[in-house]
Amino acid sequence: MTPEELRALIRTVPDFPKPGIQFRDITTLIGHPQGLAASVRHLAEMARACGAQKIAGMEARGFIFGAAVAVELGIGFVPVRKPGKLPIETIGVDYALEYGTDRLEMDPAAVSEGEHVVIVDDLIATGGTAIAAAKLLRMAGARIDHALFVIDLPDLGGATKLASAGLEVRTLLDFEGD
Ligand code: AMP
């Protein structure tokens, strides 16, 4: 399936989680066998072209696509987790949300010094989550040059923000608005 065909499998839910947000729901995409396989194949081709030695994905939807891409390429997967989930001493970064802050954590031993890790997530909106993930992975010693997403919301400017943080963004498809 082409990225344009995949677009039709993504469900848009208006006013979730709050009024004015068009929630791009991938539940319908990953429930479709060919849609799931094609999304993973397209992302894996991009990750291979980037020279990925490992894939990192953010909890929770980044785990779905990221782990599948890692399997497709025969490389390892690094889970970037919500706080308090890992049973070992972690490293973490706090980052700003529209209201308040959030935090990402990882096992500092999950990557080696200079290892080329590619970030995979379902969607880039403002780019805040991906920038925090890149900062964290870089703290652990990874080389982070690329971030891949199924969906881009270009009106929110995330890809531009990632570019100024030294990250090249590649996406399968985009939706206007937020
Ligand atoms: P951001 O940090 O602003 O780039 O937001 C990234 C995360 O928020 C993504 O991993 C998405 O899972 C989620 N997200 C933000 N906006 C939307 C939206 N309109 N539809 C679905 N998920 C969204």
pLDDT digits (tens, 9 = 90+) for 98-117: 778 999 999 999 999 999 99
Question: Which residues contact ligand 1 via a Cβ below 6 A?
Answer: 21-24, 61, 121-129, 158
Summarize pLDDT for 6-40 with one digit per residue, the tens. Answer: 999 999 999 999 999 999 999 999 999 999 999 99
In this structure, is the dihedral angle defined by the CA atoms of residues 46, 55, 70 and 156, taken in order, positive or negative?
Answer: negative
Q: How many CA atoms lie within 13 A of 43 on its CB side?
A: 34
Summarize pLDDT for 139-177 with one digit per residue, the tens. Answer: 999 999 999 999 999 999 999 999 999 999 999 999 998
The whole-number average pLDDT for the span 87-95 is 97
**Alpha-carbon span 25 to 11, nearest angstrom:** 5
The label of the residue with tokens 């529209």 reads: 98
- Residue bearing the CA closest to ligand 1, atom 15: 125
Let me know: does 17 contact 23? Beta carbons within 8 Å: yes
The whole-number average pLDDT for the span 67-83 is 98
Q: Which of 103, 121, 123, 176 to mutate to test the pocket of ligand 1 (most atoms within 8 A of CB)?
A: 123
Active site residue 98: yes
Q: Which of 41, 48, 61, 143 is flagged as catalytic?
A: 61
Active site residue 45: no
Residue 127 CB coordination number (10 Å): 25
Give this prediction's pTM: 0.97
Model confidence at 58, in pLDDT bands (50, 70, 90)? very high
- Residue bearing the CA closest to ligand 1, atom 9: 123
The whole-number average pLDDT for the span 82-87 is 97
pLDDT of residue 178: 75
**How far apart are the CA of 61 and the centre of ligand 1, in A?**
10
128-150 per-residue burial string, b: 16 or more CB within 10 A, e: under 16: bbbbbbbebbbebebbbbbbbbb
pLDDT of residue 97: 85
**How far apart are the CA of 125 and the centre of ligand 1, in A?**
5
SS3 124: strand
The whole-number average pLDDT for the span 83-112 is 95
β strands within 69-167, DSSP E: 76-80, 91-96, 101-106, 117-124, 146-152
**Higher model confidence: residue 83 or residue 100?**
83
pLDDT of residue 150: 98
Closest by CA position to 9, among listed 26, 20, 18, 21: 26
